[in-house]
């Protein structure tokens, strides 16, 4: 598919798709006319990229992580320098930190929302709200 369709299907600006490619997160073939040509799998790949970016990972790290995710078959010790492995372990730990932080905060928000709603319930006719 061409860049426009991929953009639409992933809710991602064309500009960014080209940027991700430039950053080595995405590979696109080329049609004879020079247009980028994406395989179907790119949709999920882009969604992955965006999810990780939204979660605070920089492209440099995503570049290292994506091969583990998208090519579950292409695992060879050869591509894994001990340095890369260390980075992956490190990044896994950081992901765990993020997850825990987000879980805690989400619980707190839920608690707050519940509390507010409990307070809004009891007096059912109390809607003299002056915004």
Partner DNA sequence: TCAAACCCTCACATCGATGTGAATGTCAAG
Partner DNA sequence: CTTGACATTCACATCGATGTGAGGGTTTGA
- Shortest approach of DNA to residue 48 CB, angstroms? 13
- Phi, psi (rounded to 5 degrees) for 30: -130, 135
Nearest Cα neighbor of 49 from 76, 80, 77, 22 is 22
Closest C-alpha among 62, 36, 39, 61 to residue 49: 62
Residue placing its CB nearer to its own copies in the complex, 2 or 93: 93
Does 89 sit near DNA (CB under 7 A)?
Answer: no
39 lies in the site for DNA, by CB under 7 A = no
Instruction: Report the partner that residue 89 touches, choosing among its own copies, DNA, none (CB closer than 5 to 8 A by kind).
Output: its own copies
Instruction: List residues binding DNA (CB under 7 A).
Output: 2-5, 7, 13-16, 18-19, 23, 28, 31-36, 50, 53, 58-60
């Amino acid at each position: 598919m061409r860049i426009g369709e991929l953009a639409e299907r992933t809710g991602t600006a064309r500009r960014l798709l080209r940027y991700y490619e430039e950053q080595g997160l995405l590979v696109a073939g080329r049609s004879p006319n020079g247009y980028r040509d994406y395989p179907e799998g790119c949709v999920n790949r882009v969604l992955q990229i965006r999810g990780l970016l939204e979660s605070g990972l920089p492209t440099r790290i995503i570049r290292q992580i994506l091969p583990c995710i998208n090519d579950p078959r292409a695992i060879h010790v050869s591509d894994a320098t001990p340095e890369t492995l260390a980075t992956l372990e490190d990044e896994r730990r950081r992901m765990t930190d993020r997850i825990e932080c987000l879980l805690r905060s989400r619980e707190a928000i839920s608690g707050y929302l519940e509390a507010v709603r409990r307070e809004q319930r009891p007096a059912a006719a109390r809607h003299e709200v002056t915004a």
